[in-house]
Structure 1
Amino acid sequence: MNIKIGSKNPTKINAVTEVFPDASVTALKASSGVSEQPFSDEETMMGAVNRATQCAESAEGVIGIGLEGGVMYVNEQLYLCNWGALVTPEGQIFTASGARIALPEEIEAGLRDGPELGDLMDRYAEKQAVRTKEGAIGIFTNDFVSRQEMFAHVVKLLRGQWEYWRDKK
């Protein structure tokens, strides 16, 4: 099985290879087609679908996977959100979302000024490349859940849906 993931981010690539250990997984820099910092469930999901679609259309017989992190409001509280999409060679699309945690007010204020969450997290946590390591989820869960684990859960949801419908045929 050939899978292309629409990102060069190691946490996303590792999540896919963890859930599809027998597949040939290739990373492809794919555009999300949404804001650099998605600010809603809808926008974050669309970014994942766009990445997965580009991957699936990049070569014959390829499964495309897109993973996108974003933020969204529930009432007045800003939450971390994440979405994934799997697009089959036939063009069937599966989507799933994962963990959500409330973000501190300092992060919300910083995001309003324009930087992406990953850039903001580096300054906030006084670390480098948080987005390619533990992610905001790792920082705010005291490393109980890493960004890779969060995305692996989403990829499991995608794989399970795809296998269910594939086997039902």
Structure 2
Amino acid sequence: MKVVVGSTNPAKVEAVKIAFLDKWKDAVILSAETESGVNGQPFSDEETIEGAINRANGAVLHESADIGIGLEGGVIETKQGLCMCNWGAMSVNGSHPFIAGGARILLPEEIAVRLRGGEELGAVMDEYAQKKDVRKKEGAIGIFTAGLVTRDEMFAHVMKLLIGQYLYTIG
């Protein structure tokens, strides 16, 4: 089985490896940068889902893939404030993509204000945490959960939801 992740982000690729290699030891996991077709900082569930689906559909076209994966992080406004959201999509040739969402946490207002002003979470987090490439490592989720949940773990959960749906449909 050849699986292509529609991103070269190490946290996303690791999430796919964690989930797929647990079920299929011989799966080949590749990565390719695909377009999300949405804003750099998706600002709703719908936009984040669309980005994940676009990445998955683009990934399945690469390298004669059997499965394409798109993972997308975004934010969503709630009555309580701005929350992180994350979505994944799995495209299998000839079928409608599977989708699944994961953890959500409330962002500190000082971060939310900057995102509402047009900045992207990854860049804001680098400055806030005084680290480089937070989005490629623990992610904002890792910073705001004191490392108890990291970005790859968060997306691995989404991947398991996707894989479970796929397994259900193939019997």
TM-score class, shorter: over 0.9
Provide the rounded CA distance (Å) in 2 between the counterparts of 1:58 and 1:10. 18
Runs of 4+ in 1 over 3 A off after TM superposition: none
Structure 1 CA distance for aligned equivalents of residues 80 and 147 of structure 2:
26
Partner of 1:2: 2
Instruction: Letter of the 1:35 partner, please give it.
Output: N
Instruction: Provide, for residues 96-149 of structure 1, a one-character-per-residue CA deviation record: whole Å limited to 9, x for no partner.
Output: 000000001001111123221000000011111100111000000111000000
> Could you state the TM-score of these two structures normalised by the residue count of structure 1?
0.95
The gaps in structure 1 that reach 5 residues or longer are none
Q: Percent identity?
A: 53
Equivalent residue number for residue 102 of structure 1: 106
Tell me the distance in 1 between the aligned counterparts of 2:46 and 2:100.
Answer: 12
Question: Who is 1:62 aligned against?
Answer: 66
Inter-partner Cα distance in structure 2 for 1:20 and 1:35: 28
Tell me by how many angstroms 1:59 deviates: 4.5
Question: Cα distance, 1:55 vs. partner?
Answer: 1.1
Please state whether the residue corresponding to 1:57 is helix, strand or coil: coil
Going from structure 1 to structure 2, the CA distance change for 1:61 and 1:129 (only over 3 Å counts) comes to closer
Cα contact 2:5–2:29 (8 A) shared by 1: yes
RMSD across aligned positions (CA): 1.1
Shift of 1:61: 4.9
Aligned residues: 167
Number of the residue aligned with 1:75:
79
- Deviations along 1:4-33, one digit per CA (max 9) or x if unpaired, are 000000000000011111210110100000
Distance (whole Å) between structure 2 residues aligned to residue 36 and residue 10 of structure 1:
18
Is 1:38 matched with 2:39?
no
- 1:60 deviates by 3.8
Report the counterpart of residue 166 of structure 1 in structure 2. 170
What residue is the counterpart of 2:17 in the other structure? Answer: 17
Give the TM-score, by structure 2 length. 0.94
In 1, Cα distance between equivalents of 2:65 and 2:13? 19
